[in-house]
Structure 1
Amino acid sequence: MAAEGKIDPMHQFAIEPIAPLHIGPYDISFTTSAAWMLVALVIVVGFMAIGMRRELVPGRWQMAVEGLTGFIDNMVQVNIGPEGRKFVPYIFSLFTFILVSNLIGLLPLAIIPGFHPFTTTSQFSLTGVLAVLSFSMVVIVGFWRHGLHFLSLFVPHGTPKPMIPLIAVIEFISFMVRPFSLGLRLFVAMIAGHILMEVFGSFIVNGLNGGGVGWAVGGLSFLFIVFVVALELLMCVIQAYVFALLTTLYLSDAINLH
Structure 2
Amino acid sequence: MVATDGEGLHFDSVLSQFDVKPLFGAGEISFYTPTNVTLWLFLIVVSTVAMLVVGTRGRAIVPNRSQSIAELTYGVVHKMVEDIAGKEALKYFPYIMTLFIFVLLANFLGLLPMAFTVTSHIAVTAVLAFAVFFTVTAIGFIKNGVHFLDLFWVRSAPLAIRPVLAVIEVISYFVRPVSHSIRLAGNMIAGHAVIKVFAAFAGIAAVAPVSIIAVVGMYAFEVLVAGIQAYVFTILTCVYLKDALHPSH
Whether TM-score is above 0.5 comes out as yes
- 1:68 corresponds to 2:73: yes
Aligned with 1:39 (options 12, 21, 43): 43
Letter in 2 for 1:228: M
Number of the residue aligned with 1:113: none
Number of the residue aligned with 2:234: 244
Q: Per-residue CA shift, 1:125-177, capped at 9, x if unaligned?
A: 00111000111111011001011110110012222222122111000000111
Q: Distance in 1 between matches of 2:82 and 2:242?
A: 10
Higher relative contact order (CA 8 A, sep 6+): 2
Aligned length: 240
Q: Distance in 1 between matches of 2:225 and 2:183?
A: 11
| Residues 16, 167 of structure 1: alpha-carbon distance in 2 compared, 3 angstrom cutoff | same
Letter in 1 for 2:230: A
Aligned with 1:122 (options 97, 120, 123): 120
Aligned with 2:89 (options 72, 84, 91): 84
- 1:157 corresponds to 2:155: yes
Aligned with 1:147 (options 141, 145, 166): 145
Aligned with 2:33 (options 24, 29, 47): 29
Asked whether the 8 Å contact 1:7–1:199 carries over to 2, the reply is: no
| Residues 19, 133 of structure 1: alpha-carbon distance in 2 compared, 3 angstrom cutoff | farther
Deviates more, 1:99-108 or 1:155-164: 155-164
Letter in 2 for 1:125: A
Asked whether the 8 Å contact 1:2–1:8 carries over to 2, the reply is: no
Number of the residue aligned with 1:256: 246
Q: Distance in 2 between matches of 1:68 and 1:255?
A: 24
**1:51, CA displacement in angstroms?**
3.1
Asked whether the 8 Å contact 2:2–2:200 carries over to 1, the reply is: yes
Matches within 5 A, 1:1-258: 1-3=1-3, 5-19=10-24, 27-53=31-57, 54-108=59-113, 116-205=114-203, 207=204, 215-257=205-247, 258=249
Root mean square deviation, CA, Å: 1.7
Number of the residue aligned with 2:7: none
* TM norm structure 1: 0.88
**1:50, CA displacement in angstroms?**
2.1
**1:40, CA displacement in angstroms?**
0.8
**1:105, CA displacement in angstroms?**
1.1
Partner secondary structure for residue 206 of structure 2: helix
Where has structure 1 moved over 3 Å in runs of 4 or more? none
Number of the residue aligned with 1:211: none
| Residues 62, 27 of structure 1: alpha-carbon distance in 2 compared, 3 angstrom cutoff | closer
Partner secondary structure for residue 79 of structure 1: helix
**1:216, CA displacement in angstroms?**
2.8
